[in-house]
């Protein structure tokens, strides 16, 4: 074989070796073994309007949906609280997926344990798994709080998580006063943003409403602080730094509810940090008394926003402010709520972003984009694209609802650059593939899984949606605020110039436009 201790070949080249090519050829003989001509004809048919109509007619099958399951969002939330261990009541395989998903995106270890449910728990219930699992988690990992969520198995058999936690305390697995907020997060409905909402609601309800009815509910005493909830965000490391900086410039006390940015940005200095940063329990309690809560993801935090409003606070919901207008609205809300003027530093940064946009608008003006991802994020990106004179031609969200689609359409109607643009709620990436062939665009905005669309349709991909596995460190830079808007602008321009260079490389044929100055 080509691979040996004396000749180690990277995977990029290894499978091009003759032995592997022969092996793959024989493998094909034992599969369907359709002729190359037949395969090619079917592939070409899938690019047609006829196929698109059949594709969009399906209603009982999802092909590569652009979403993850609820417990992933719950694990995200747990990592956003200080010294909190995420405990998923379900199988080990599920939890391995959550840990690996976050670790591959953030390039950091993600702590999470499971109750290790197997076949016997599916038949008899998972109480014993919960009792033993909480005891082991408490003694081995020494958290200050354990946040419990569930998977499909626990939900299908109807395990009562509240009762299980109380029984575990009665049996001495964990102390009676130990904090164990919980949320039911069935993976077979909703998505990761639903799980985020349910889990964050579970934490707030635990502390504000009497710790699962074991203590008296807290009484709100209003103060002048402001709460901030960012929602499920793959750029949280960079974005939370930017949000804290903005509030610091205003001189406003802010309680950030769920901040995993420290957990996914630990230094390499010889010390292992299983827990790093995060919102403290004291901050969660103090958040009840805040004057208002600003929520950056309306459709990611619907239940949590309602719960906070019911406790007497004003709730300001925004949609992932990206670019000028979105950031303007965010800053004006802070100013309105606090009575403080917008800092001169932020006014300067606004002018710098507008200047950068003016410098580059000729390149992005009129370019057509297809976008997919989470609802609030897509609203932010689509609004910014239209500020740049670009057209968000296809906006697709698997976990988007009809109210979200209506809001996107209203956004389209507010600008001439939205004319002819369409929104697609509850659709998947196979739907988007049909759209890219029948109604082509210049660029795609999405996550790593879009690289297969890029390969099939030859449409360049801009990676600005979670998860991003095949590029490193994007999450360290902000996308929110004026500084984030500048970062997004650079990413859009980089992909545009790369595509332009790639299309003008052929000597004496296309290289008349292979310019040094762009």
Catalytic residue, from 69, 131, 152, 395: name it: 152
152 a catalytic residue: yes
156 a catalytic residue: yes
Classify residue 90 by its DSSP letter.
Answer: S
CB 89 within 8 A of CB 161: yes
Report residue 486: phi and psi, to 5°.
-65, -40
Residue written as token pair 């602080």: 225
Report the distance separating Cα 289 and Cα 219, nearest Å.
9
Report the distance separating Cα 108 and Cα 275, nearest Å.
12
Report residue 314: phi and psi, to 5°.
-75, 135
CB 98 within 8 A of CB 70: no
Q: What token pair was written down for 185? A: 């997060």
**Alpha helices (H) along 314-343:** 324-338
Q: What token pair was written down for 141? A: 């990992």
Beta bridge partners of 370: 394, 444
**CA-closest candidate to residue 467, choices 255, 293, 254, 233:** 233
Q: What token pair was written down for 51? A: 């196929």
Classify residue 45 by its DSSP letter.
Answer: H
Catalytic residue, from 39, 43, 156, 285: name it: 156
Active site residues: 152, 156
């Amino acid at each position: 074989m080509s691979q040996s201790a004396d000749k180690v070949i990277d995977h990029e080249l290894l499978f091009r070796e003759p032995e592997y090519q022969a092996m793959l050829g024989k493998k094909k003989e034992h599969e369907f073994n359709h002729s190359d001509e037949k395969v090619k004809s079917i592939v070409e048919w899938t690019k047609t309007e006829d196929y698109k109509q059949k594709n969009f007619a399906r209603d009982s099958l999802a092909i590569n949906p652009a979403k993850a399951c609820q417990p992933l969002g719950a694990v995200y939330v747990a990592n956003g609280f200080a010294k909190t261990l995420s405990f998923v009541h379900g199988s080990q395989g599920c939890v391995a997926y959550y840990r690996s998903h976050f670790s591959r995106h953030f390039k950091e270890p993600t702590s999470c344990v499971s109750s290790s449910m197997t076949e016997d728990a599916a038949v008899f219930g998972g109480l014993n798994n919960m009792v033993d699992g909480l005891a082991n988690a408490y003694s081995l990992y020494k958290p200050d709080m354990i946040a419990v969520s569930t998977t499909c198995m626990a939900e299908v058999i109807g395990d009562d998580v509240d009762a299980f936690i109380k029984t575990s305390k009665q049996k001495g697995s964990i102390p009676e006063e130990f904090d164990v907020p919980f949320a039911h997060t069935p993976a077979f409905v909703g998505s990761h943003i639903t799980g985020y909402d349910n889990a964050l609601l579970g934490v707030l309800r635990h502390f504000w409403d009497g710790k699962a009815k074991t203590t008296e509910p807290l009484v709100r005493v209003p103060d002048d602080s402001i709460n901030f909830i960012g929602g499920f965000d793959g750029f949280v490391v960079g974005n939370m730094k930017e949000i804290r900086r903005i509030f610091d410039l205003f001189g406003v006390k802010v309680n950030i509810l769920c901040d995993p940015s420290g957990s996914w940005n630990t230094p390499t200095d010889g010390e292992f940090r299983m827990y790093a940063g995060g919102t403290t329990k004291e901050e969660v309690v103090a958040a009840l008394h805040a004057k208002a809560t600003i929520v950056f993801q309306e459709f990611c935090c619907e239940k949590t926003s309602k719960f906070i409003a019911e406790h007497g606070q004003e709730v300001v919901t925004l949609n992932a402010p990206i670019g000028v207008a979105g950031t303007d609205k965010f800053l004006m809300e802070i100013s309105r709520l606090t009575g403080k003027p917008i800092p001169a530093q932020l006014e300067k940064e606004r002018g710098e972003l507008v200047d950068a946009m003016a410098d580059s608008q000729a390149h992005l003006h009129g370019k057509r984009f297809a976008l997919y991802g989470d609802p609030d994020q897509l609203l932010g990106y689509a609004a910014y694209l239209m500020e740049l004179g670009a057209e968000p031609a296809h906006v697709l969200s698997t976990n988007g609802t009809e109210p979200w689609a209506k809001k996107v359409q209203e956004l389209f109607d507010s600008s001439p650059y939205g004319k002819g643009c369409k929104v697609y709620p509850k659709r998947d990436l196979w739907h988007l593939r049909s759209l890219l062939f029948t109604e082509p665009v210049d660029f795609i905005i999405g996550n790593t899984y879009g690289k297969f669309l890029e390969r099939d349709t030859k449409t360049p991909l801009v990676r600005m949606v979670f998860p991003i596995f095949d590029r490193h460190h994007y999450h360290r830079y902000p996308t929110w605020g004026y500084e984030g808007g500048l970062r997004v602008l650079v990413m859009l321009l980089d992909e545009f110039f790369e595509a332009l260079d790639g299309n003008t490389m052929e000597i004496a044929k296309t290289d008349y436009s292979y310019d040094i100055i762009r």
